[in-house]
Chains A and B, each alone.
Chain A
Amino acid sequence: MTQEKEHLILSQVSIDFPTPQGSFRALNKVNLKISKGEFVSIIGHSGCGKSTVLNIVAGLYQATEGGVILDGREVNQPGPERAVVFQNHSLLPWLSAYENVELAVKQVFRGKKSRAEMKDWIMHNLKLVHMDHAMHKRPAEISGGMKQRVGIARALAMEPQVLLLDEPFGALDALTRAHLQDSMMEIQANLGNTVIMITHDVDEAVLLSDRIVMMSNGPAATVGEILEVKLPRPRNRVAMAEDPEYIRCRQAVLRFLYERHGRAEKAEQPTVVTAETPASSATESSVAASEEPAAVGAAVIEMKKKQPKAA
């Protein structure tokens, strides 16, 4: 898996945002080395700066200090070799699923692939995420999970060196999420992309990652701890649930998040779910689920528990 060391390097990355109250240091001296083909998750509390890290790697933000080096070259602008799957899919609403992928493919492979080859390549990527049956539908006509899959297909179709995923499954229900996580593992196993994924979900992080980067709380957030997940692949979510390594990793992440960098208000009321904020409820359901020994489909269990309350 690690044929080549130092594929992607974040070195002393700091960023200041200008605000009306003066400049605000969101990240302070983030250091991270990622090797080729590695799957790295970034986890941390809301607002700590995970998206900011990802945007800096994508080239959408410029670090104030330090920088990002990909294969020996400094990253200073966005580009298709670092494809992003955005948190809210960001498909063009006036294009069908096929056309959305096509836009990316035409842009990246112009002059390199023939028209017929491009068509095959688009179809191949849509099949990869099982979206070929609805490829002529517009984003408004497909479900949230389907949109997210098209977004993933679009990113994969660019043949990126690094795939950047910003909470790709955050807004989805637990079953769809599990399904997409499995697809993601399968795709990554076949293609061997380097992946950086942001997540709020501890189980998701452990299940998918080779390493989990835990970020300290902002302002001036930085890498707090890095956890290596030594679980063999392919991983099966059901079989793994009782694996001691799996449990050890979950405990380590949870301990980091809620003991060392916990937030009082969250730790005290982990079961409060508000209908207006699905993102935060997803976080908290996975927290609450930590008390269950069998953590598979934690969100499902948690949802069932809450139903009488909600009714």
Chain B
Amino acid sequence: MDTKHNFQTYIAPLLGILVFLVIWQIGAPRIQTSLGAVPGPVQVAGQFGQLVNEHWTERTKAKEFYQRQEERNAQKLAEDPQAEVKIRPYTGRKTFFDQILTSLVTVMVGFILAALIAIPLGIAAGLSPTIYAALNPLIQLFKPVSPLAWLPIVTMIVSAVYSGNDPMLDKSFINSAITVLLCCLWPTLINTTVGVANISPDLQNVSKVLRLNRWTYIRKIVLPSAIPMIFTGLRLSLGIAWMVLIAAEMLAQNPGLGKFVWDEFQNGSSDSLGRIMVAVLVIGLIGFALDRGMLMLQRKVSWDKSAALR
């Protein structure tokens, strides 16, 4: 019993990964592409190391750049205390890890905005059958639309509405974030609605007998009882957000992981396939980590600690 449990929790997953790596290593070199053979896991690991190196090289360069500026400024000030000094920002190449950060920021902005819209709207729709009836056709209509279809519209609208000489935020960033928002709104909206609409009639009766006002009712009864469903929705939404983001970044040229993949593809060097594969694995790992993060948040927030959370 116990050994079986150990086998299932530790050994089986490791075996699965091992078999996958072996098949990959054996199969990959047999496929010749215009960029050379498909890299196996060993080459991909090598590429990862190279990306790490590039990152540190770039960081060192940036550090030296700032140091040089400071030295020059100090010298200027020593010669003439009234001299005007400024620090120019370093405009070097974005490394793979900078791009991961951009992607994370973009996805979180899109996802959090979506949650801020979807949760209140879902509560309203769950409480009022009229609002639900009004929203339902829109939800059904827009839910299946692909991010690739949204992006051109978003791009046009953003460039029309959001202009100015020195925009604070990059347009490509806004386009990607809004596309993410539009695609990941729906699961949270639907699940919140269902969660709120299915509050036990007994608890509704309790709140009627107590004459709770609307706000107290929402705070004390609706929200806690819908929390598990809201989180189910949020986790689905975050998964979709991350998936959509990569596609959106490719098209919007937001300097994140999507752009990294696209640029490598356009680049077409012998390293490209390996670097794309590193990106694929990193994308998968981050998606997994995001989901675990949501799960941990759910555990913290939810009152029902006994509920099986997967």
A residues whose Cβ falls under 8 Å from a Cβ of B: 58-60, 77-80, 82-84, 86, 88, 90, 92-94, 103-104, 107-108, 138, 140, 158
- Minimal beta-carbon separation of B231 from chain A (angstroms): 14
Residue contact B303 to A94, C-beta cutoff 8 Å? yes
Chain A residues positioned under 8 Å from B212 (CB to CB): 107
- Minimal beta-carbon separation of B223 from chain A (angstroms): 10
| B64 contacts chain A at the CB level, 8 A cutoff | no
Identify which of residues 209-245 in chain B touch chain A, using a CB-to-CB cut-off of 8 Å: 209-212, 216, 220-221, 224-225
Chain A residues positioned under 8 Å from B211 (CB to CB): 78-80, 107
Residue contact B306 to A80, C-beta cutoff 8 Å? no
Residue contact B220 to A78, C-beta cutoff 8 Å? no
Chain A residues positioned under 8 Å from B220 (CB to CB): 92, 103
- Among residues of A, the one whose C-beta sits closest to the C-beta of B212 is A107
Residue contact A140 to B306, C-beta cutoff 8 Å? yes
The interface size of chain B toward A, counting residues with CB under 8 Å, comes to: 18
**25 residue pairs from A and B, CB less than 8 Å apart:** A58-B209, A59-B208, A60-B205, A78-B209, A79-B211, A80-B209, A80-B210, A80-B211, A84-B209, A86-B206, A88-B202, A90-B200, A90-B205, A90-B206, A92-B203, A92-B206, A93-B303, A93-B304, A94-B224, A104-B210, A107-B210, A107-B211, A107-B212, A140-B306, A158-B210
- Among residues of B, the one whose C-beta sits closest to the C-beta of A90 is B202
Residue contact B221 to A92, C-beta cutoff 8 Å? yes
User: Do A86 and B210 contact each other (CB < 8 Å), given the known contacts A92-B221, A94-B224?
Assistant: no
Chain A residues positioned under 8 Å from B225 (CB to CB): 94
Seed contacts A59-B208, A60-B208; 15 additional CB < 8 Å A-B pairs: A78-B208, A79-B211, A82-B209, A83-B209, A86-B202, A86-B205, A86-B206, A90-B200, A90-B202, A92-B220, A93-B304, A94-B303, A103-B220, A107-B216, A138-B303
- Minimal beta-carbon separation of A265 from chain B (angstroms): 30
Chain B residues positioned under 8 Å from A108 (CB to CB): 210
Task: Report the Cα distance A108→B306, complex, angstroms.
Answer: 32
Chain B residues positioned under 8 Å from A59 (CB to CB): 208
Chain B residues positioned under 8 Å from A104 (CB to CB): 210
B residues whose Cβ falls under 8 Å from a Cβ of A: 200, 202-203, 205-206, 208-212, 216, 220-221, 224-225, 303-304, 306
Chain B residues positioned under 8 Å from A77 (CB to CB): 208
Chain A residues positioned under 8 Å from B203 (CB to CB): 90, 92
Chain B residues positioned under 8 Å from A88 (CB to CB): 202
- Minimal beta-carbon separation of B206 from chain A (angstroms): 5
Task: Report the Cα distance A90→B208, complex, angstroms.
Answer: 13
Chain A residues positioned under 8 Å from B306 (CB to CB): 140
User: Do A92 and B224 contact each other (CB < 8 Å), given the known contacts A86-B202, A140-B306?
Assistant: yes
Chain B residues positioned under 8 Å from A83 (CB to CB): 209
Most B CB contacts (10 A, CB to CB) among A60, A83, A94 go to A94
- Minimal beta-carbon separation of B235 from chain A (angstroms): 20
- Minimal beta-carbon separation of B204 from chain A (angstroms): 9
Residue contact B205 to A84, C-beta cutoff 8 Å? yes
- Minimal beta-carbon separation of A162 from chain B (angstroms): 12
- Minimal beta-carbon separation of B308 from chain A (angstroms): 14
Task: Report the Cα distance A90→B202, complex, angstroms.
Answer: 6
Task: Report the Cα distance A82→B209, complex, angstroms.
Answer: 8
